[in-house]
């Protein structure tokens, strides 16, 4: 049986200065979220492994996540941060060659004020260097950055990309366009996968329903197919709108009409392939 993978979650030791984006409307996030907390959540719903994703743009963050992964076998992979646009980036990457759980890198493009950030020569030089280490690049954007993302992906046809949070469409406003057509166009590039994550926090936090999410799920399913979409919890950020269990149950409702094979792809097979995940020794011995 294909293992179930949560392809997107965070971990942190909370400090107000380091997580300034967590404002007073997000009080539930103002505490530590550590592997032991997550393990309880995933075991309750039958998740076998996870991919931890950076939340701060520092080397310290990447090193800390890798340390957590070494201590927690269920963390199968880490998507960290590194100074991709730095001239020294290729040399700095060398020290990560001995980190088998480093599966990818991410930059918080959604916060960049320059609308042409993804066009930058330095950033694109860094992305080109990822191929040598076999690392995935996670794309974190808002819907309005999709056009630039299409051009960006076209510059790197041999790089594996994963789109986070279905590009954050305006679910709360019930607007599908122009997101719908741009997602379909982006999905024509076969080197990009998409995470079914972060959807409830783009909906109305207090009163969203499965019916609000289904049109967006259907678009992504039709564009990428089950073989290129993957489940992600976005825990603990999802707690703003849903518990871990509720979001996982919602995902199961969305995929209910699909075949067993298609469900297994979305709930684990796609992430395992995209991030080249391996079972932990404990899981492999089960």
What is the reported pLDDT for 280?
A: 63
Quote the CA–CA distance of 77 and 266 in Å, as a whole number: 17
Residues 6 or more apart whose CB falls under 8 angstroms from that of 23 comprise: none
Residue with tokens 């109305």: 204
What is the reported pLDDT for 281?
A: 59
Contact (Cβ atoms closer than 8 angstroms) between residue 271 and residue 251: no
Residues 6 or more apart whose CB falls under 8 angstroms from that of 192 comprise: 139, 153, 160, 161, 162, 163, 186, 228
Quote the CA–CA distance of 199 and 231 in Å, as a whole number: 11
* Per-domain residue ranges of the chain: 5-280
Strand partners of residue 231: 196
| Tokens coding 1 | 């049986």
Per-residue pLDDT of the chain (286 residues; tens, 9 = 90+): 789 999 999 999 999 999 999 999 999 999 999 999 999 999 999 999 999 999 999 999 999 999 999 999 999 999 999 999 999 898 888 888 789 999 999 999 999 999 999 999 999 999 999 988 889 999 999 999 999 999 999 999 999 999 999 999 999 999 999 999 999 999 999 999 999 999 999 999 999 999 999 999 999 999 999 999 999 999 999 999 999 999 999 999 999 999 999 999 999 999 999 999 987 655 554 4
Distances (CA, A) of 172 to 24, 71, 139, 193: 20, 38, 22, 24
Q: Could you tell me which of 194, 181, 201, 256 has the C-alpha nearest to residue 225?
A: 194
What is the reported pLDDT for 96?
A: 82
DSSP SS3 for 17? coil
Residue with tokens 């991030």: 275
Distances (CA, A) of 61 to 20, 27, 65, 102, 121: 15, 22, 6, 12, 25
Quote the CA–CA distance of 230 and 269 in Å, as a whole number: 8
Residue with tokens 């080109």: 128
What is the reported pLDDT for 249?
A: 98
CB burial class (10 A; 0-12, 13-18, 19+) of residue 151?
Answer: exposed
Quote the CA–CA distance of 248 and 236 in Å, as a whole number: 13
Contact (Cβ atoms closer than 8 angstroms) between residue 51 and residue 9: yes
State the pTM of this model: 0.96
Quote the CA–CA distance of 216 and 259 in Å, as a whole number: 19
Mark out the alpha helices in the chain (DSSP H runs). Answer: 35-45, 59-71, 89-93, 121-129, 146-154, 179-187, 210-224, 244-255, 260-264, 270-274, 281-284
Superfamily for the 5-280 domain: Metal-dependent hydrolases (3.20.20.140)
């Amino acid at each position: 049986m294909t293992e179930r993978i949560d392809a997107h979650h965070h971990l942190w030791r909370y400090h107000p200065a380091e997580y300034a984006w967590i404002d007073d409307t997000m009080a539930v996030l103002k505490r530590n979220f550590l592997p032991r907390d997550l393990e309880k959540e995933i075991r309750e719903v039958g998740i076998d492994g996870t991919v931890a994703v950076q939340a701060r743009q520092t080397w310290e963050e990447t090193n800390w996540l890798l340390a957590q992964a070494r201590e927690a076998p269920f963390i199968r992979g880490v998507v960290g941060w590194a100074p991709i646009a730095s001239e020294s980036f290729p040399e700095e990457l060398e020290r990560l060659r001995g980190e088998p759980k480093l599966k990818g890198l991410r930059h918080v493009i959604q916060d960049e004020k320059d609308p042409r950030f993804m066009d930058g020569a330095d950033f694109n030089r860094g992305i080109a260097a990822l191929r040598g280490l076999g690392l995935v690049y996670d794309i974190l954007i808002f819907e309005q950055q999709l056009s630039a993302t299409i051009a960006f992906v076209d510059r790197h046809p041999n790089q594996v990309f994963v789109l986070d949070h279905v590009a954050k469409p305006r679910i709360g406003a019930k607007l599908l366009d122009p997101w719908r057509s741009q997602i379909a166009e982006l999905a024509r590039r076969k080197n990009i996968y998409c995470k079914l994550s972060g959807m409830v926090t783009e909906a109305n936090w207090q009163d969203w329903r499965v019916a609000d999410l289904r049109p967006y799920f259907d678009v992504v399913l039709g564009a990428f197919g089950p073989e290129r979409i993957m489940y992600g919890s976005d825990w603990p950020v999802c707690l703003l709108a849903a518990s871990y269990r509720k979001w996982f149950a919602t995902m199961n409702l969305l995929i209910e009409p699909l075949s067993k094979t298609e469900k297994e792809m979305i709930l684990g097979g796609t992430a395992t392939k995209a991030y080249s995940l391996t079972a932990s020794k404990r899981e492999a011995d089960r």
